[in-house]
Structure 1
């Protein structure tokens, strides 16, 4: 039960009863999000789920997010281990533009917990202008990490695991990341700069966005076109029918469609080239 080349589905802790349906296929796994994420891990372990499970506390997001210089919680690490997480994630704060102190603080603490993954929620500049110092610092500490990249300009894929990502999760895998996680909802596919205007998220009665493989994009269900989908949820039916579907069905389509792309990636001999060609035709 390792994370090698996995494309995980990132969900809220309150999605615990639907989560297994979204990540029951080979090569998948789950990331639960929020303060109760470790409890969700424990619950799905008890019902027999044997895939990879992670718990992201997400202290780095929202208007009350903490800075990366904040102390990490040993209790949070211990709770994940007890719950049956595949590997514990640190409850890191946010690493702002040029905030080397925050970056070093997180890594210096994480190095003392063997097997723990240091979550690095970074300003977009870290993966654009400061990617070499970032990669060098991560290599120097030698601890497993997972990036969360704040919304910003497009950037070249970084060969490090990603949390709370969109389609860039597949790009990271193509460029050598060990694993990556795609959010099931818009709010879990982004790290919004603060302050920000909320875009998307959860809505009673249905998800706002459906993944369209030909576009490599999540599209609001009200704007879906005439195209069809051959995933095992859609069975060749028009995507636009998802405008009236329940949220779980939309999210299941998203997971299955992404799983098909993931399988194509894993079968590719030259993964970077495959990704580049795929994005050119989208």
Structure 2
């Protein structure tokens, strides 16, 4: 199964019964998340899902996150292969600020396997002042990698999409990664799967955890809390011209179906563009319509890559 130019949907294992619906768009695929992700892969394969499927153990997230120095598990790789993932992902721990030992540990151990993606969950500084060291390490490794970009303490997100490498746990910037040449990227179906939060975020960081629902407003490339959606109609195939605000009373599956439908509509438009980066830059520069405050916003033109003020923070409370 080819991962080329795929916009994947990243889900929890509890979403397994909705997975075929959410991953059914052309050029889509699935990323299951968590310790039992390989079991979810096995289940959708038994159900006949033929698209690309990955498994991200996500040991790098949360208050109990594991350091990248903890090492990689051969059993995790073997379980993924047995479950018939498209390509195995390492069960990497977190790579903290200036933690070159963690970065080297992951890359050195990942090199023991052929056709395995080394997952690099990065402190925001690795995509800012430490970017030269990161790119040199990746170039020296020579194998496939995927990035998970942590939000800065300010709520900003580094512009990891500009590196043209696969992204996990991303928001709309997954489209930017594809526009910059990434072979694939994954968008989370809910807020917690669209971000890697700092281990100790500030009290006023504004992060919406848990079951908060957000819908994608295409004019802004923004995931907006459903209670703050605009009145205007949505032309996507899931909404059929009905007001976007109706999603405030919809269930999570209906909201997520709207989200993946809009994302893949945008992806199809980008695929037809003569210059993908120009298309992406035009999307970033689109004037705001309807929404005054939104989360998961992408950076506006003029913000330099790695400058520390890239992608804005998550949905506002």
| TM bucket, shorter chain | over 0.9
The size of the alignment, in residue pairs, is 279
Q: CA deviation at 1:129?
A: 1.9
Q: CA deviation at 1:132?
A: 2.4
Q: CA deviation at 1:133?
A: 2.0
* 1:48 alignment counterpart: 48
Counterparts in 2 of 1:162-173, with a 5 A limit?
162-173=167-178
Structure 1 position 149 matched with structure 2 position 149: yes
* 2:106 alignment counterpart: 106
Which of 193, 200, 221 is residue 208 of structure 2 equivalent to? 200
Structure 1 position 265 matched with structure 2 position 273: no
SS in 2 for 1:51: coil
The answer as to whether partners of 1:202 and 1:208 remain within 8 angstroms in 2 is no
Q: CA deviation at 1:159?
A: 1.1
The answer as to whether partners of 2:95 and 2:102 remain within 8 angstroms in 1 is yes
Using CA pairs below 8 Å that are at least 6 residues apart, which structure has the higher relative contact order?
2
TM-score (norm 1): 0.96
Q: CA deviation at 1:127?
A: 1.3
* 2:258 alignment counterpart: 253
RMSD across aligned positions (CA)? 1.3
Structure 1 position 220 matched with structure 2 position 240: no
Structure 1 position 182 matched with structure 2 position 187: yes
Gaps of 5+ in 1: none
Q: CA deviation at 1:105?
A: 0.5
SS in 2 for 1:214: helix
SS in 2 for 1:54: strand
Gaps of 5+ in 2: 288-317
SS in 1 for 2:77: helix
Q: CA deviation at 1:245?
A: 0.5
SS in 1 for 2:81: helix
CA distance in 1, matches of 2:279, 2:55: 31
TM-score (norm 2): 0.86
CA distance in 2, matches of 1:14, 1:158: 32
Which of 276, 280, 283 is residue 275 of structure 1 equivalent to? 280
Please list the CA deviations of residues 191-215 of structure 1 after superposition, one character each: whole Å capped at 9, or x if unmatched: 0001236833443xxx510000001
The answer as to whether partners of 1:185 and 1:201 remain within 8 angstroms in 2 is no
Please list the CA deviations of residues 247-282 of structure 1 after superposition, one character each: whole Å capped at 9, or x if unmatched: 100000000000001111111111111111111014
Please list the CA deviations of residues 158-184 of structure 1 after superposition, one character each: whole Å capped at 9, or x if unmatched: 211000011111111111111100000
CA distance in 2, matches of 1:181, 1:191: 13
CA distance in 1, matches of 2:89, 2:190: 21
* 1:30 alignment counterpart: 30
SS in 2 for 1:232: coil
Residues 1:253 and 1:201: Cα distance change in structure 2 (over 3 Å): farther
SS in 2 for 1:114: coil
Q: CA deviation at 1:99?
A: 1.0
CA distance in 1, matches of 2:15, 2:184: 22
SS in 1 for 2:224: strand
SS in 1 for 2:163: coil
